[in-house]
Amino acid sequence: MTDPEKEIQEERATELFAMLPDDGAREELVRMFFPLVEYLSRRFRSRGEPLDDLVQVASIGLLKAIDRFELDRGVKFSTYAVPTIIGELKRHFRDTGWAMRVPRRLQERALLLRSVIADSYQELGRSPTVAEIGRRAGLSEEDVLEAMDTMHAHSVESLDAPIDDDDNSSMTTLGAEDQLIEQLEGWADVAPVLRTLPERERLLLYYRFVAGMPQSQIAEKLGISQMHVSRLLARTLETLRSAVTGAEG
Q: What is the DSSP letter of 48?
A: S
Stretch that binds other proteins, among 87-95, 102-110, 171-179, 205-213 (CB under 8 A): 205-213
- 155 contributes a contact to other proteins by CB under 8 A: no
Count of CB atoms situated within 10 Å of the CB of 91: 13
The one among 189, 195, 198, 223 contacting other proteins by CB under 8 A: 189
Buried b (16+ CB within 10 A) or exposed e, 20-41: eeeeebbebbeebbeebbeebb
Q: Which of residues 89-128 bind other proteins (CB under 8 A)?
A: 117, 124, 126-128
- 138 contributes a contact to other proteins by CB under 8 A: no
User: Shortest approach of other proteins to residue 187 CB, angstroms?
Assistant: 7
- 239 contributes a contact to other proteins by CB under 8 A: no
- 212 contributes a contact to other proteins by CB under 8 A: yes
What are the angstrom distances between the C-alpha of 123 and each of 69, 120, 133, 136?
A: 64, 5, 12, 12
- Backbone phi, then psi, for 147, in 5-degree steps? -65, -35
Stretch that binds other proteins, among 2-10, 12-20, 73-81, 143-151 (CB under 8 A): 143-151
- 159 contributes a contact to other proteins by CB under 8 A: no
Is-contact 206 195, C-beta < 8 A? no
Applying CB under 8 A, what is the total number of residues that bind other proteins?
40
The one among 109, 200, 208, 228 contacting other proteins by CB under 8 A: 208
> What is the rounded CA–CA span in Å between residue 167 and residue 173?
10
User: Shortest approach of other proteins to residue 229 CB, angstroms?
Assistant: 8
- 222 contributes a contact to other proteins by CB under 8 A: no
> What is the rounded CA–CA span in Å between residue 98 and residue 109?
17
> What is the rounded CA–CA span in Å between residue 52 and residue 34?
13
Count of CB atoms situated within 10 Å of the CB of 169: 8
- 209 contributes a contact to other proteins by CB under 8 A: yes
If the CB atoms of residues 14 and 129 are measured against other proteins, the closer one turns out to be 129
Among candidates 128, 106, 105, which has minimal Cα distance to 116? 128
User: Shortest approach of other proteins to residue 148 CB, angstroms?
Assistant: 6
Stretch that binds other proteins, among 56-64, 81-89, 156-164, 211-219 (CB under 8 A): 211-219
If the CB atoms of residues 190 and 197 are measured against other proteins, the closer one turns out to be 190
What are the angstrom distances between the C-alpha of 55 and each of 82, 106, 164?
A: 14, 22, 41
Site residues (vs other proteins, CB under 8 A): 117, 124, 126-131, 133, 141, 144-145, 148-149, 152-153, 185-187, 189-190, 208-209, 212, 214-216, 226, 230, 233-234, 237-238, 240-241, 244-245, 247-249
